[in-house]
Amino acid sequence: MNVLGIETSCDETGAAIVKDGRHLLSNVVASQAHLHARYGGVVPEVAARQHLEALVPVVEAALKEAGCRPQEVDAVGVTVGPGLPGSLLVGVNLAKALAYGWGRPLVAVNHLEAHVYANWLVEGFQPQFPALCLVVSGGHTDLVIMEGHGRFRALGRTRDDAAGEAFDKVARLLGLGFPGGPAIERRAQECPNPSLRLPRARLQGPFDFSFSGIKTHVARLLQGAYGPPPPTEEVAAAFQEAVVDVLVDRVVKAVRTHAVGQVLLSGGVAANSRLREELTRRSPVPVHAPPPFLCTDNGAMVAACAYFRLTELGETAPLDVDVQPGLRLG
Ligand code: KG4
Ligand code: ZN
């Protein structure tokens, strides 16, 4: 079964063809990062207009790359939320038109759930339920138990900034550009053992996160509030260590208190090699993470998720399905 997955929730225009929910036939992503770079973050109106220009060519390229004719597409999956309303509308409306025109089922996909399903695209991956999912992206930081296909139970989430958002904001403070995650990771490599230690927020909820305090601390540090500011690479490395430490700490706690068989890491920040390394080192159960190109937004994860929604749960969406910008997971 070939599923076309469409992703336009934020600033990547993505389309992919995935066979049987596991095999990547094509995966085309047009990034808009260069358009948003000068603003230091995603500008919603710019993003929606750019999706409008890029989406049809991206879908055509995904079909071509997969060697798949429209009549060989068995279902259309699309991200309906969470995300930017204008951006979501572009993807959802094209998906509806294609599903209607081709006479194929439409499947509505939760973007956060799609991130988790990127793990199914890794060859040889075997799910073991219940699994603990850490979804860390530019918009979300969620710790969720996956009890089975489509069955999620939230344990905790960020109370302020998402981890990726904190990377982006701190990169901006350091003048490292946008998106901030990869820029901070590269710069931090120049300082493998930072002597600077940034404070970690402690919250009441044992599985909740908070990153705005670390960001404010960096801002004060750079203003000279605690003496002459340390070199950029040291701040970048200390910030990365602090975020990774908080994320890994909550995951390890959750693994110890819930009988989970594995940890599934996903979302743009899951591309971070320090996070992957530390989580693998400290987790009592096996950790799985997609390759970095499947951690950031893409259509393949949407297609994989749609396949399991359709085949395991028999779920399809009506053609008047609406976008759900505030959708949650669990
Ligand atoms: O999942 P994603 O592509 O979009 C959202 O759903 O938000 O995540 C994008 C976020 C950005 O904040 C970006 O800075 C962060 O993921 N990111 C990283 C890395 N690569 C991307 N953060 C830390 N280290 C990285 N290597
Ligand atoms: Zn995402």
What is the pLDDT at residue 201?
87
What is the pLDDT at residue 70?
98
Q: pLDDT (tens digit, 9 = 90+) per residue, 299-325?
A: 999 999 999 999 999 999 999 999 999
Q: What's the domain range around 218?
A: 128-289
Domains of the chain: total: 2
Please report which residue ranges of the chain form alpha helices under DSSP H: 33-36, 44-66, 85-102, 111-117, 163-173, 180-188, 212-222, 232-257, 273-282, 292-295, 299-313
**Quick one: 212 and 280 in the same domain?**
yes
Helices and strands (H and E) in the chain: how many:
11, 10
**Quick one: 24 and 100 in the same domain?**
yes
Alpha-carbon gap, residue 52 to 8, rounded angstroms: 10
* Domain presence at residue 280: yes
**Quick one: 216 and 276 in the same domain?**
yes
3 state DSSP class of 291 = coil
* Domain presence at residue 318: no
For residue 12, the CA-to-ligand 1 centroid distance in Å is: 11
Which range is least confidently modeled, 28-42, 147-161, 221-235, 263-277? 28-42
* Domain presence at residue 164: yes
Alpha-carbon gap, residue 268 to 168, rounded angstroms: 12
**Quick one: 74 and 142 in the same domain?**
no
CB atoms within 10 A of CB 256: 11
CATH at residue 306: 3.30.420.40
Mean pLDDT of the chain: 97
Token pair of 223 as six digits: 């203003």
Ligand 1 atom with the shortest distance to the CA of 139: 7
Mean pLDDT throughout 248-261? 97
Q: Is the pLDDT of residue 40 over 90?
A: no
- Residue 101 contacts by C-beta under 8 Å, 6 or more apart in sequence? none
Alpha-carbon gap, residue 256 to 300, rounded angstroms: 32
Alpha-carbon gap, residue 243 to 15, rounded angstroms: 31
Q: Is the pLDDT of residue 199 over 90?
A: yes
Ligand 1: residues whose CB is within 6 Å?
10, 137-139, 164-165, 167-168, 179-182, 185, 267-269, 271-272, 296-297
Mean pLDDT throughout 10-35? 97
For residue 297, the CA-to-ligand 2 centroid distance in Å is: 5
Q: pLDDT (tens digit, 9 = 90+) per residue, 125-140?
A: 999 999 999 999 999 9
**Quick one: 112 and 132 in the same domain?**
no
Angle at 12 between CA 7 and CA 17, to 5 degrees: 40
Quick check: pTM over 0.95? yes
For residue 180, the CA-to-ligand 1 centroid distance in Å is: 8
Mean pLDDT throughout 110-135? 98
Q: Where does the pLDDT of residue 161 fall: very low under 50, low under 70, confident under 90, or very high at 90 and above?
A: very high
